[in-house]
Structure 1
Amino acid sequence: MDANAPREDNAGGWSQFGDKPPTAGTFTRPGPVLPPPPPPRRAGFVLTRKAIAGLALAAVTALTAAALGGGAVGAYVAEGARPAPTVTTTVASPVFRTASGQLTVAQVAEKVQPSVVMIQGQNAEGSGVVLSEDGLILTNNHVVAGQGDQLTVKFSDGKTAKASVVGTDPATDLAVIRAAGVSGLAKATLGDSDQLKVGDDVLAIGSPLGLDGTVTSGIISALDRTVTAGSGGQDQQLPPGWGQQGQASETTTLGGMIQTDAAINPGNSGGALVNAAGELVGINSAVAADGVNLGFAIPVNTAKQVSEQLISKGKVSHAFLGVSVTDATGDVPGALIRQVTAGSPAEKAGLKQGDLITKIGNTAVQGGDTVVGQVRGFKIGQQVQVTYQRDGKTSSVTVTMEEKK
Structure 2
Amino acid sequence: MSEHETNLQRPTEPAEPSPTSELPRAEQGWSDAGAVGGATADEPTRVQPAHAHPAQDQPAPGQSAYGQPTSSEQPTAGNPWQSPYAGPPHPPFPGRPFAGAHAPQSGPAPGQPGSFPPPPPYPGVGPMAAWGPPPAPRPGASRAAKLLGAGAVALVLMVGSGVAGGAVALSLADRETTEKTASTSAPAPVINRSSLAEIAAKVQDSVVSIATGSSEGSGVILSADGYILTNNHVVASAGQRAVTVYFSSGKSTRARIVGTDPKTDLAVIKAEGVSNLSPATFGDSDAMQVGDTVLAIGSPLGLQGSVTAGIISAENRTIQTGGSQNPFQPGGGRITISGLLQTDAPINPGNSGGPLVNTKAEVIGINTAIATSGHGQGNIGLGFAIPSNKAKVVAEALRKGEKISHPFIGVSVTRAPSGGALISAVTPNGPAERAGLQTGDIVTRFGDKEINDSDELVAAVQSGKVGDRVQVTYIRDGETRTTTVTLAEAP
Assess if the C-alpha contact under 8 Å between 2:319 and 2:337 holds in 1: yes
Q: Secondary structure at the match of 2:347?
A: coil
Query: What's 1:191 paired with?
Result: 283
Per the alignment, in what secondary structure is the counterpart of residue 366 of structure 2?
strand
Identity of aligned residues (%): 45
2:156 aligned residue (45, 56, 60): 56
In the other structure, the counterpart of 2:339 is 256
Give CA deviations for 1:281-334 in whole Å, capped at 9, x if unaligned.
Answer: 11100001105320001111111121122111254222222x221313533352
Is residue 367 of structure 2 the alignment partner of residue 284 of structure 1?
yes
Task: Give yes or no for the alignment of 1:117 onto 2:208.
Answer: yes
Residue type at the aligned position of 1:161: T
Rounded to whole Å, the distance in 2 between the matches of 1:165 and 1:42 is 29
Relative distance call for 1:347 and 1:293 in structure 2 (3 A) is same
1:225 aligns with 2:234: no
Aligned to 2:54: none
Is the contact made by 2:11 and 2:413 (CA closer than 8 Å) also made in structure 1?
Answer: no
- Judging by fraction of residues, say which structure has more strand: 1
- Give the C-alpha shift of residue 55 in structure 1: 1.4
1: CA distance between counterparts of 2:286 and 2:468? Answer: 16
**Offset from partner CA, 1:200-246 (integer Å, 9 cap, x none):** 111111100101111111111111111111245159xxxxxxxxxxx
Shift of 1:167: 0.8
2:477 aligned residue (386, 391, 403): 391
Alpha-carbon distance between aligned partners in 2 of 1:203 and 1:375, rounded to the nearest angstrom:
30
Aligned to 1:311: 399
The residue type paired with residue 462 of structure 2 is R
What does 1:135-284 correspond to in 2, within 5 Å?
135-148=226-239, 149-231=241-323, 233-234=325-326, 250-284=333-367
Shift of 1:377: 4.1
Distance (Å, rounded) in 1 between the aligned partners of 2:288 and 2:150: 26
Corresponding residue number in structure 2 for 1:376: 462
Once the 2 structures are TM-superposed, how far is the Cα of residue 359 of structure 1 from its aligned partner?
4.6
Alignment match, 2:426: 339
Q: 2:386 aligns with which of 290, 298, 302?
A: 298
The code of the aligned residue for 1:233 comes to Q
Q: Does structure 2 conserve the Cα–Cα contact (< 8 Å) formed by 1:132 and 1:187?
A: yes
Q: Is the partner of 2:224 in helix, strand or coil?
A: coil
In the alignment, structure 2 segments of 5+ residues that lack a partner are: 1-9, 15-35, 40-63, 70-107, 120-146, 169-186, 375-379
Following superposition, the deviation at residue 121 of structure 1 comes to: 1.1
The whole-number CA distance in structure 1 between the counterparts of 2:12 and 2:154 is: 16
Cα deviation for residue 157 of structure 1 reads 1.3
Displacement of 1:256: 1.2
Output the CA distance in 2 between the equivalents of 1:175 and 1:203: 22
Residue-pair matches, total: 341
Looking at structure 1, the residues matched to 158 and 191 of structure 2 have their Cα atoms a distance apart, in angstroms, of 33
TM-score normalised according to structure 1 size = 0.72
Quote how far apart the aligned CAs of 1:113 are.
Answer: 0.9
**Letter paired with 1:391:** D
Per-residue deviation, 1:154 = 0.7
Give the superposition deviation at 1:381: 4.1
Greater alpha carbon shift after TM alignment, 305-314 vs 106-115:
305-314
Instruction: Kindly report the root-mean-square deviation, in angstroms, between the aligned alpha carbons of the 2 structures.
Output: 3.9
Judge which range, 256-265 or 391-400, deviates more.
Answer: 391-400
What's the secondary structure of 1:313's corresponding residue?
Answer: coil
SS of equivalent to 1:110: helix
User: What secondary structure sits across from 1:316 in the alignment?
Assistant: coil
**Contact (CA 8 Å) 1:62, 1:71: kept in 2 or not?**
no
- The CA distance in 2 between the partners of 1:180 and 1:218, in whole Å, is 34
Once residues 333 and 50 of structure 1 are traced to their aligned partners in structure 2, the CA distance between those partners, rounded to angstroms, is 22
Kindly state the Cα deviation for residue 16 of structure 1 after the two structures are TM-superposed. 2.8
Question: In structure 2, what residue type is equivalent to 1:336?
Answer: I
Q: Residue 457 of structure 2 aligns to a residue in which SS?
A: helix
2:299 and 2:306 in contact (8 A); partners too: yes
Distance 1:219 1:262 in 2: 6
Unmatched tracts of structure 1, length 5 or more: 18-35, 73-96, 236-246
- Cα 1:61–1:190, aligned 2, differ >3 Å: closer, same or farther? same
Alpha-carbon contact 2:341-2:386 (below 8 Å) kept = yes
SS state at 1:54 partner:
strand
1:83 is matched with none
The alpha carbon displacement at 1:153 in A equals 0.4
Deviation at 1:274, TM superposition (A): 1.1
Q: CA deviation at 1:356?
A: 1.1
User: Does structure 2 retain, via aligned residues, the 8 Å contact 1:201–1:218?
Assistant: yes
